[in-house]
A and B are shown apart, each in its own frame.
Chain A
Amino acid sequence: MFYRESGDFKTSYVQDQQIFPILQDRVFVAVVIAFAFLVVPFLINDYWEKSVLLPVLIWSLAAIGLNILTGYCGQVSLGTGGFMAVGAYASYKFTTAFPELNLFIVVLLSGGVTAMVGILFGLPSLRIKGFYLAVATLASQFFLVWLFNKVPWFYNYSASGQINAPERLIAGITITGPNAPPWATYLFCLIFVVVLALIAKNLTRGRFGRSWMAIRDMDIAAEIIGVAPLKAKLSAFSISSFYIGIAGALFFLVYLGAVEPTEAFGIDKSFLVLFMIIIGGLGSILGSFIGAAFMFLMPVLIKNIMVNGLGWSPDIVAHLIFMIVGGLIMFFLIVEPHGLAQLWRIAKEKLRLWPFPH
């Protein structure tokens, strides 16, 4: 009754083309963003920062990145872990080589470097398609991780090959390193996530997004109606890698602070992000957030309930978590193959008609 577009008259093109055409949506999103910026920083503690909010924000960003490539442009990629590693190592090199450089610029530059690497590894997509491409992108995953593990220049010749985020400040506030206050790291990530998510949303609605979707739906047909596959695919690869690189930089600089390429950016990370976007919803920015939250928080939630709440032994719970998460994935796919975002979309449709569905 209340949630509908009728009565919400648009009198200009600008209004007609806004991201959220329904008033309630706009209010809801504004409230969520205001809450995230104005309320959460005052409530946050170390546990919420390191175990819940930072990882979810960062994984969401990586998921948006992969969603641009896989969900919108239809190019399945399993190189996410490798590209995150590029972002992380680029940020490490930038911030240790130029200690005075502002962290925002460091992170953006790392994204830029990753975008270039992404274009390079995106070249095979012009010829290889579908699952063949997915497995081909694994080449980049394994090669990049091997490279960072092998070439001492990348880890500044440290004895063990680990990289550590040095302490860096913005306007006198510590952002990286162990002494950074939770609210600062959280806000730092949140700014990137909100801005980049809005940009992504707009990109996918615009010329780029439409050309990607045309390629996704049928590339030959798209080519015939004048979408250049080279431009569309490579732009998707570069923009997607830009997002993933920023996620990797934040993952290293702000979240973990010390990483080793084989463990932190292994193949399981590539799979994890892919699971996130499929569970969340391919071709949906909201889905990226839902998927990241589901895949990351579900195990933590189950663990907290079962181990701390019910007092079961942690190893049995760890096995059960695998079974429950696996079972839930299968269940959701049977109920709604197009991801959790689709469930949300259907709920909205129902709400629009409620209480007079006919």
Chain B
Amino acid sequence: MTPDILNTIEVILNGLMTGVMYSLVALGFVLIFKASGIFNYAQGVMALFAALTLVGFQTGQIPFSHLINEIFGTHVHNWGPGLNSVLAILLTILVMILFAWLVEKLLLQYLVNQEPIILFMATIGLAFFMEGLGDLMWGADIKTLDVGIPSGGSFWWEDVTRTWVSEGYEYYGMYIDLLDVWAAGIAVLLVTILTLFSQYTKTGRALRAVADDHQAALTVGISLRSIWVIVWSIAGFVALVAGIMWGSKSGVQFSLSLIALKALPVLILGGFTSIPGAIIGGLIIGVGEKLFEFWIGPLVGGATENWFAYVLALFFLMFRPQGLFGERIIERV
């Protein structure tokens, strides 16, 4: 093969990997939308908050230390050397469950049966609140997140692909980031677990029942409120996973919450209600924006990815207004 073809393959491959990273964020949106019809604007901030909490536990930070120091004039920062990653992750999951419970208790239970846009707005309020809370709790400085996931280009893959090139060409081998491979593996695992959970457990069936019809679910005795706590907990867990993967790339800082913007085109492309849709949407967006940047980008000056993802999603919507895997919108008068 000529290097041109190999380069294209490389771009596609990396696009797929990036797409998986987008999907990780989009999954959280889908879970909550499916179960409660809420478009959760706070998903990105939840990822940031989860990652901040994780790093806080890992490094042994005292929450609100800045505020405490300001009020009491003390100089506290750390309570100890910190926890190991597994323990810290478990504790963070507990925090996210607590968070889910609080959200249901203090916010959602008062907003049952409101219009979608009102619920959307409520999650915006939540996002604002968590943004301030996260910074106040753990500080706004940048933090290094390392839970032991390898990163960097794979030598093995480089060596393997170097032999694919035709005679007479110079070729460096293909690049693939180990972190992305791990992310893909984790995403597959996550989707499998979620699918098994929703198909074969009692709670999972209750989840699907609620997603199908709130009222019918209520009449057969499913507690809507506990289901919501469960869904938000799972979404919190997914946010943690996304936070870990993205945070390992860039450090944990405010910008982490902006990854939600990259998940939106994935979401509309795949459909708001479909977990496989989130994955496949992510793959299409990832490959599409990378290929466009590769082929067309140099002609128009580059940095096209941000808008092209949306244009691509828009293009698909023209043919399927409910997204690729979304539930068919049936309108009756």
Binding site for B on A (CB under 8 A): 76, 124, 127-132, 135-136, 138-139, 141-143, 145-146, 150, 218, 220-221, 224, 267, 271, 275, 278-279, 282, 312-313, 315-316, 319-330, 333-334, 337-338
Contacts and interface: CB of A to CB of B under 8 A. Distances in A.
Interface residues of B, number: 53
A333 B121 contact: yes
Given A143-B310, A271-B124, 20 more contacts: A76-B117, A124-B317, A127-B321, A128-B318, A128-B321, A132-B321, A135-B265, A135-B267, A138-B310, A139-B310, A139-B313, A146-B303, A150-B300, A278-B121, A320-B136, A322-B135, A323-B128, A326-B124, A333-B118, A337-B115
Contact of B111 (A129, A312, A337): A337
Contacts of B317: 124, 127-128, 132, 136
Interface of B: 39, 66-67, 70, 106-107, 110-111, 114-118, 120-122, 124-133, 135-136, 140, 261, 264-265, 267-268, 272, 300-301, 303-304, 306-307, 310-311, 313-314, 317-318, 321-323, 329, 331, 333
Nearest to B319: A127
Contact of B125 (A132, A138, A319, A329): A329
**Nearest 9 A-B pairs (CB), nearest first?**
A322-B132, A326-B128, A329-B125, A326-B129, A139-B310, A142-B307, A323-B132, A330-B125, A143-B307
Given A316-B70, A334-B110, A279 B121 contact: yes
Given A135-B265, A139-B313, A322 B124 contact: no
B102 to A, nearest CB: 12
Contacts of B331: 220
Contacts of B129: 322-323, 326-327, 330
Nearest to A123: B318
B122 A333 contact: yes
A334 B107 contact: yes
Nearest to A312: B70
Given A220-B331, A319-B135, A326-B132, A275 B124 contact: yes
Contacts of A324: 132
A313 B268 contact: no
Contact of B116 (A131, A218, A315): A131
Contacts of A323: 128-129, 132-133, 136
